[in-house]
């Protein structure tokens, strides 16, 4: 049917929001303005879904600042930060399901955000906040605060790592046995319930005899309630001894472990120096308290922490398989200082990419200590913010062979370089109107079941990118959502349930 010879325009598809250039340039199959719209699986569209309440507990959490997906040994759960503005303190909770909420697990004054990474069912938590530095918001670890670890069973989080044992003990010849005769230094290494080994403590010099074993009594217990074992360590025979108990190489003595933190004797230990193979000397170099940072991730089964209160360009890297063992000598990576903080880090295709607001560099594990890893500059104009890399369910941030990253340019795919044009090309004006000094409020998740990219914005609105027609700048469809409350954080729970957290 025609009207005054006008042929109707048939719109066969709907492309979502277009916010780029003048209004006259908006394609017919896009909206120049839309809110609370959602595209269907094909070309259809309707209104966004409503909200439900995810907490069915006596005292629900309010003013939720941060939520992460937390996979445990028994299920998929959430780790949540609720903030009390009156007390200026943040509290960490463990959301198991709608009716089970553990916590507070950790309450810290001034904690408005936290970095998080799961490891072997445990949750590593690093409290941080935003500081005004010359008018620029800088996210970094809280002063005089530390990395914490939560074991996942509702018990309060504990400080990661641990201090060495102190005190003195008695060493004597035991029953008939064998040792290499001569001066040895003995000590004990404590082990916590997370597997962390402290530096050797209770160091005592003793001269062994060849036909006797060695016995120990009055062995101190550790003041750390999380210590579950104590291991005997010793030097080999010392040709000379100048009174310095720490300047020698120590080894774990085979079959010389006390499997509790109560027993004070260990008797009749026989060994030869040739049996001392497992070196313990490196434990002297590890942090006994790991400073809090604003960045946490994993790389090659190592924990990576960055942006402490005192050094915004320093990266701490743990020993492989030992997330709490970080050497103060060779477990350090230095990002070239430029006055801007490290904001994020993520492994992709065997490379550790580290980001600032507008810079990206990479480090590659060369099989040697972290301090020797080569640095390569990837991009000197683009980086990301503290939560600007999309997470994918409970598998971290990489999806197949790329990352989805938010930065000042827009929302981009990253496969070792930022792919242009960016995914948000159609809404460039909308994106660049956001307050870049408030990008800490951006958090992104990739929901592959729904084929949505979902993120919170500095405006506390939610932006959704539907990529059911393709993950490319032309096919993705963007939709801003608004609610009666402002949202700070987003996570995915139980594969496809989207959890939004905010404040009234």
Phi/psi of residue 323, nearest 5 degrees: -65, -20
User: What is the DSSP pairing of strand 443-447 with strand 391-392?
Assistant: parallel
pLDDT of residue 194: 95
Long-range contacts of 363-371 (CB under 8 A, 24+ apart): 363/315, 363/333, 365/299, 365/300, 369/327, 369/330, 369/331, 370/302, 370/317, 370/330, 370/331, 370/332, 370/333, 371/329, 371/330, 371/331, 371/332, 371/333
- The tokens describing 311, both together, are 């050094």
pLDDT of residue 399: 46
DSSP 195: -
| pLDDT tens for the chain, residues 1 to 504 | 556 667 776 667 788 999 999 988 899 888 899 999 988 766 678 889 888 888 888 888 989 999 999 998 888 899 999 999 999 999 999 999 999 999 899 999 999 999 999 999 999 999 999 999 989 999 999 999 999 999 998 999 999 999 999 999 999 999 999 999 999 999 999 999 999 999 999 999 999 999 999 999 999 999 999 999 999 999 999 999 988 998 899 999 999 999 999 999 999 999 999 999 999 999 999 999 999 999 999 999 999 999 999 999 999 999 999 999 999 999 999 988 999 999 999 999 999 999 999 999 999 999 999 999 999 999 999 999 999 999 986 555 544 589 999 999 999 999 999 999 999 999 999 999 999 999 999 999 999 889 999 999 999 999 999 998 899 999 999 999 999 999 999 999 888 899 999 986
Phi/psi of residue 428, nearest 5 degrees: -55, -45
CA distance linking residue 37 with residue 56, whole number of Å: 29
CA distance linking residue 213 with residue 271, whole number of Å: 8
CA distance linking residue 25 with residue 28, whole number of Å: 9
Task: Answer whether 44's CB lies under 8 Å from 75's CB.
Answer: no
Would the CA dihedral through 319, 323, 329, 332 be positive or negative?
A: positive
CA distance linking residue 364 with residue 25, whole number of Å: 45
Please state whether the predicted TM-score (pTM) of the whole model is above 0.75. yes
CA distance linking residue 294 with residue 127, whole number of Å: 7
- The tokens describing 460, both together, are 């506390």
- The tokens describing 18, both together, are 């277009």
Element containing residue 136 per DSSP (H, E):
strand 136-141
Upstream peptide bond of 344 is cis (omega within 30 degrees of 0): no
pLDDT of residue 73: 85
The residue with tokens 């809280």 is 142
pLDDT of residue 15: 87
CA distance linking residue 251 with residue 309, whole number of Å: 35
């Amino acid at each position: 049917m025609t009207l005054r010879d006008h042929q109707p325009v048939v719109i066969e598809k709907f492309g979502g929001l277009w916010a780029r250039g003048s209004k006259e340039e908006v394609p017919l199959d896009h909206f120049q303005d839309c809110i609370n719209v959602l595209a269907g699986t094909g070309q259809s569209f309707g209104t966004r879904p409503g909200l439900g309440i995810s907490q069915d507990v006596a005292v629900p959490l309010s003013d939720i600042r941060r939520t992460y997906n937390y996979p445990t040994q028994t299920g998929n759960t959430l780790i949540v930060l609720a903030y009390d503005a009156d007390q200026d303190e943040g509290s960490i909770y463990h959301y198991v399901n709608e009716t089970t909420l553990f916590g507070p697990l950790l309450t810290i004054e001034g904690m408005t955000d936290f970095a998080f990474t799961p490891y072997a069912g445990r949750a590593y938590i690093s409290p941080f906040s935003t500081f005004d530095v010359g008018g620029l918001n800088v996210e970094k670890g809280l002063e005089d605060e530390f990395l914490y670890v939560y074991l996942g069973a509702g018990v309060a989080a504990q400080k990661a790592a641990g201090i060495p044992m102190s005190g003195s003990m008695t060493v004597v010849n035991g029953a008939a046995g064998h040792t290499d005769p001569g001066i040895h230094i003995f000590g004990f290494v404590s082990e916590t319930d997370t597997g962390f080994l402290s530096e050797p403590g209770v160091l005592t010099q003793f001269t062994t005899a060849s036909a006797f074993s060695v016995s120990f009594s009055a062995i101190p217990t550790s003041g750390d309630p999380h210590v579950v074992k104590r291991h005997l360590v010793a030097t080999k025979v010392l040709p000379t001894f100048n009174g310095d108990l720490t300047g020698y190489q120590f080894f774990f003595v085979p079959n010389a472990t006390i499997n509790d933190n109560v027993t004070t004797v260990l008797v009749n230990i026989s060994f030869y120096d040739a049996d001392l193979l497992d070196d313990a000397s490196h434990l002297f170099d590890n942090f006994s308290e790991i400073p809090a940072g604003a960045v946490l991730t994993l790389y090659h089964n190592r924990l990576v922490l960055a942006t402490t209160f005192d050094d915004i360009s320093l990266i701490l890297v743990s020993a492989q398989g030992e997330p709490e063992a970080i050497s103060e000598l060779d477990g350090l990576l230095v990002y070239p200082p430029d006055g801007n903080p490290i904001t994020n880090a993520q492994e992709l295709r065997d490379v550790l990419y580290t980001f600032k607001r507008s810079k990206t560099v990479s480090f590659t594990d060369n099989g040697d200590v972290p301090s020797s890893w080569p640095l390569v500059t990837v991009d000197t104009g683009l980086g990301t913010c503290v939560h600007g890399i999309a997470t994918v369910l409970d598998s971290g941030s990489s999806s197949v062979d790329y990352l989805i990253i938010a930065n000042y340019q827009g929302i981009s795919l990253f496969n070792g370089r930022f792919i242009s044009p960016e995914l948000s090309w159609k809404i460039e004006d909308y994106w660049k109107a956001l307050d870049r000094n408030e990008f800490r409020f951006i958090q992104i998740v990739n929901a592959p079941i729904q084929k949505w990219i979902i993120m919170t914005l500095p405006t506390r609105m939610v932006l959704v990118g539907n990529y059911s027609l393709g993950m490319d700048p032309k096919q993705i469809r963007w939709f801003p959502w608004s609610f009666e409350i402002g949202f700070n954080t987003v996570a995915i729970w139980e594969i496809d349930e989207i959890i939004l957290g905010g404040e009234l």
